[in-house]
Amino acid sequence: MLVRLEVAASIVLTFAFIVSVAYYLNLFGAFGVSLTDLNDSFHANLLTTAVFMLILFTGLMRSLSALERMEQISVGLKLAIIAGLIIGLVVHFGQLSGEGGLKFDQPQVTGWASVTLMAGLIVTVQGFETSRYLGATYDAKLRIRSMRLAQWISTAIYCLYIVLLTYAFESDPLSLDETAIIDLMQVVAPILPLLLVVAALSAQFSAAIADTSGSGGLMTEVTKGKVTEKFAYSLLVGIGVLLTWTANIFEIISYASRAFALYYSIQAIIAAIRAADRGLTGRSLLFVTMGILGGAITLFGTPVE
């Protein structure tokens, strides 16, 4: 039973990787045209498709090592700009606080609707398991350390960013789209929108490469080498381009979130069975609860509308 559950989890995660790459690159396309005269969905989709082709070409011609070099440059640039963005927001927040101008808007979505909305956003705060599937290249200690470090850094950024953004700006539900943050940052400093676009392009590109690499390694692992990484890259790009032209960004986010929630649910059930076999009843019950929660998120998560 455990073997079947592990295979099922791997299949679900493969799908989640594919959809999440589509999500990352659709954001890349939206931000890429946001400050130009071609700021529409058609040209954003064209840019997204072009980046898909670039990743496919690189993966087919140079494989994992070339993708990783591209990601390293992208991540370094992204972290530098994020640091500048956080500093700008801290200064803006401090100025508003001193003037008594902090905002305390009432939530626009409450109750069950807010719970299902959060469930549909899981993919925006996950992605730390990618290095787990690069065992052929990196040892276990390094992969574990990379996942933990990524979780701590991203958690700190997310928490600080949400607090600074929530209380320093008025909510405007009419301006909700994937690039609305650009207009908000114009208030903080004129240079921030441009830097934010660069950071967004860097972030989505590096995330897409990471999940592309992870999905290639995962498919090869699950099929015991029958599916090569290069074939996996081709499959990922084909499905990603299809999603780009048939679904909007918020639908793609919801699809990816549900897929990851189902994956986490299956993994929790596997952990519960193993804990029960070792006589760890309390821990087993905890994992069962997490599995049920993951299943509920899979069923009831909703996209932003």
Torsion of CA 68, 73, 76, 81, to 10 degrees: -130
Residue 134 clears pLDDT 70, i.e. is over it: no
What is the 3-state secondary structure of 19-74? Answer: HHHHHHHHHHHHHHCCCCCCCCHHHHHHHHHHHHHHHHHHHHHHHHHHHHHHHHHH
pLDDT band at 186 (very low <50, low <70, confident <90, very high): low
Question: Does residue 173 have a pLDDT over 50?
Answer: no
Q: Given pLDDT bands bounded at 50, 70 and 90, which one contains residue 14?
A: confident
Determine the Cα–Cα distance for residues 305 and 292; give it in Å rounded to an integer. Answer: 26
Higher pLDDT, 95 or 182: 95
Asked if pLDDT for residue 109 goes beyond 70, the answer is no
Which token pair is 305? 């509308």
Rg (CA), the chain: 20
**CA-based nearest residue to 218, from 3, 10, 6:** 10
- φ, ψ at 146 (rounded to 5°): -65, -40
Q: Which residue has the higher pLDDT, 279 or 118?
A: 279
pLDDT higher than threshold 80 for residue 205: no
The Cα–Cα gap between 239 and 228 comes to 17
Residue 268's φ and ψ, nearest 5 degrees, are -65, -40
Contact 195, 77 (CB under 8 A): no
Count of other CB atoms within 10 angstroms of residue 62: 13
In which band, very low, low, confident or very high, does the pLDDT at 303 lie, cut at 50, 70 and 90?
low
pLDDT of residue 96: 79
**The pLDDT value given to residue 289:** 92
Question: Tokens 């290249």, residue?
Answer: 137
pLDDT in tens, 209-240: 777 776 777 777 767 767 777 777 788 888 88
Residue 204 clears pLDDT 70, i.e. is over it: yes
Q: Give the Cα separation of 152 and 165 in Å (integer).
A: 20
Report percent pLDDT > 90 for the chain: 3
**Of residues 160 and 76, which shows the higher confidence score?**
160
pLDDT tens digit string along 73-96? 767 777 777 888 888 888 888 887
Window from 6-10, 52-56, 58-62, 176-180 with minimum mean pLDDT = 176-180
pLDDT of residue 29: 86
Reported as a single tens digit per residue, the pLDDT across 253-275 is: 777 778 888 888 888 898 899 88
Collapsing DSSP to helix, strand or coil, 293 comes out as helix
pLDDT value of residue 122: 63
- How do the domains of the chain map onto residue ranges? 6-98+107-300
Average the pLDDT over each of 126-140, 194-208, 250-264 and give the range with the smallest value: 126-140
158 or 215: whose pLDDT is higher?
Answer: 158
Rounded-to-integer distance, Cα 214 and Cα 226, Å:
16
Residue owning tokens 């991203």: 154
pTM of the model: 0.67
Q: How far apart are CA 187 and CA 200, in angstroms?
A: 18
Listed in sequence order, the residues at least 6 apart from 172 whose beta carbon sits closer than 8 Å to its beta carbon are none
Are the C-beta atoms of residues 66 and 85 closer than 8 Å to each other? no
Amino acid at 196: L
Nearest Cα neighbor of 204 from 63, 34, 23 is 23
Specify the fold of 6-98+107-300.
Amino acid/polyamine transporter I (1.20.1740)
